Amino acid sequence: MRARWEIGSEFDWSELVLLQSTSHELLPNRYELFSTGTAALLSLSNVIQKTQTERLRLHVPSFYCMEVVAKLERVFDICWYQDLPTESRPNFSSLNPSSGDLVLAVNTFGIREAKVWQDWLVQQNDIILIEDHSHDPFSLWAQQSIAHYAMASLRKTLPIPDGAIIWSPRAMQLPTASSSESLGAYKRLTAMLLKKAYLSGINISKDVYRRLDVESQVELGNETHCAISTFTSTILSHLNIAKFRQQREANIRQFIDLIPATVSGWMPLFTSWSAGAVPFNIIIVCKDREMRDALRNYSIEHQIFPAIHWQQPKKQISSNDILAIELSKRILTIPADQRYTSDDIEQMMETLLGFSKSPQARKLNCVKPTNDSAKNYEIAEDS
């Protein structure tokens, strides 16, 4: 029972999420686990590397996590191609890999179609396709992947302190973790336990678990080839993943259905998705950066903690894709995962709608979006 209401930020730990028996139903037949998604991607260079001296080229989408790219850059030569979540497919004319190159296809926000990449892949010769399913690790696309490699950072959608999975739909050699578990995972687990206590009303300082959480993220972020923690590898097959997916999808559907036609200043990035897919979270696109930042601050004041996917430039890394950079200034991710109920979603909507009546919003001169497609967003009228 939660005595303190808040939405988002990092997962807390709850034994309520566990299955009595183990279930491997949604996991691939053969896979390897790592502490982080970045470690899984970096370790690929060990099994694909052509020679000791020659660096592999990795093509990454222009709308992606720049912090991850900053780490991948240590091992791979990075090339960018344009891929915007406002479009249904990457701009394939900007993707021109040479023989032996690696291409990272990302199911951004879990709403992308498998067919787009599968059609592209059959026209290619001698490239290695790696799919990143971190935003929906157990989608139909992930399960039916025909890529050379597929991976997912599991800690983005599951309530575990660390963890990433990599598999090869084409039965290629899998990388393995080459260093022991990270202490960062256990620090994060401590933060999750303390957060659980905090949410249940225990009088502990939020600063304590927040600090542990931030430190653990830095420690996990510094690991390059680390094994998954014993805690996570043991608990993974006891998580009721199917139920989590159901709840997440229902929450996102409910939120989208609740959006009134008169909402001003922001709109959902998407309103539908294909069967077998579960979107990552509620993704909204605001009129401009000022509006996004004001809405975010207002939400935080009301105990909703949205994230930004993904700021760029960050860590001095940028795709230099003007459209990706522009979108990254207006986008906001509102958590809608299995932690939340239908009542929570209603309360979230009430809060977001309350923003338009707030002094902050009036100052920003909110306007009404013209239709339900974020890419066609226009300033229609003053509110």
DSSP state at residue 262: T
Q: Does 227 contact ligand PLP by CB under 6 A?
A: no
Which residues touch 159 (CB under 8 Å, ≥6 apart)?
Answer: 11, 12, 13, 14, 17, 192, 239, 338, 339
Q: Does 38 contact ligand PLP by CB under 6 A?
A: yes
Q: Least separation, in Å, of the C-beta of 40 and ligand PLP?
A: 8
Residues 129-168 that bind ligand PLP (CB under 6 A): 132, 134-135, 153, 155, 164
Q: Does 247 contact ligand PLP by CB under 6 A?
A: no
Q: Does 184 contact ligand PLP by CB under 6 A?
A: no
Which 3 state secondary structure label does DSSP give 101? coil
Q: Does 68 contact ligand PLP by CB under 6 A?
A: yes
DSSP state at residue 156: G
- Which residue in the block uniquely carries the two structure tokens 């686990």? 33
Query: Closest CB to ligand PLP among 153 and 254?
Result: 153
Which x/- pattern over 96-125 shows residues binding ligand PLP (rule: CB under 6 A)?
A: ----------x-------------------
CA atoms of 163 and 177, how far apart (whole Å): 12
Kindly indicate which of the ranges 127-135, 171-179, 246-254, 344-352 contains the residues binding ligand PLP, using the contact rule CB under 6 A: 127-135
| Single residue of 6, 7, 11, 37 touching ligand PLP by CB under 6 A | 37
Contact 112, 296 (CB under 8 A): no
Strand segments, DSSP code E, in 310-383 are 331-334
Contact 193, 11 (CB under 8 A): no
Q: What is the dihedral of CA 301, 303, 308, 311, to 10 degrees?
A: 40
| Single residue of 7, 12, 36, 44 touching ligand PLP by CB under 6 A | 36
- Token pair, residue 158, equals 């599951």
- Token pair, residue 285, equals 């696109």
Q: Least separation, in Å, of the C-beta of 133 and ligand PLP?
A: 9
Contact 129, 147 (CB under 8 A): yes
Q: Does 281 contact ligand PLP by CB under 6 A?
A: no
Q: Which residue is nearest to ligand PLP (CB)?
A: 37
Q: Least separation, in Å, of the C-beta of 366 and ligand PLP?
A: 30
Which 3 state secondary structure label does DSSP give 45? helix
Q: Does 333 contact ligand PLP by CB under 6 A?
A: no
- Token pair, residue 274, equals 């294909």
Q: Does 219 contact ligand PLP by CB under 6 A?
A: no
Catalog residues that contact ligand PLP under the rule CB under 6 A. Answer: 36-38, 65, 68, 106, 132, 134-135, 153, 155, 164
